[in-house]
Amino acid sequence: MSSTAVAAQVRRASLSRTGVDWRGLLFQGLLALALLTALAILIVLLADVVTRAMPVFTARGADFLSAPVLSRPEQAGVGQGIQGSLLIVLIVATTALPIGIATAIYLEEYAPDSRLSRFIAVNIRNL
């Protein structure tokens, strides 16, 4: 008997089963419980951050986001930090995109079938 015939028999048997798959239902329930637990923790953390930050936002308004970094904490803002983060994102995106495309072209068209190229290809597939 060939392997495809055995696979077809296994598939047919699994499709023709009757009854409830208790292990599958238990696993789905545990996954749903884990998801709900993680979401509850996230909601509690976000609520805590918002309630602690609300007095600052009501007192300072948008000035908190646009003010520069100062030595006095009550006047300091996060504007320079946001600008720096956006600049880093821009630099990384403009350098990573061409390097990634060049690497893909090299691996597909020019790289010999070596252990290193297979290792890189596996890592790219796992991204």
Single pTM value for the model: 0.52
Q: Which of helix, strand or coil describes residue 117?
A: helix
Percent of the chain with pLDDT over 70: 98
Question: For 19, phi and psi rounded to 5 degrees?
Answer: 105, 180
Mean pLDDT, residues 54-78: 80
Mean pLDDT, residues 66-85: 81
Is 68 in contact with 77 (CB distance < 8 Å)? yes
- Reported as a pLDDT band with limits 50, 70 and 90, residue 70 is confident
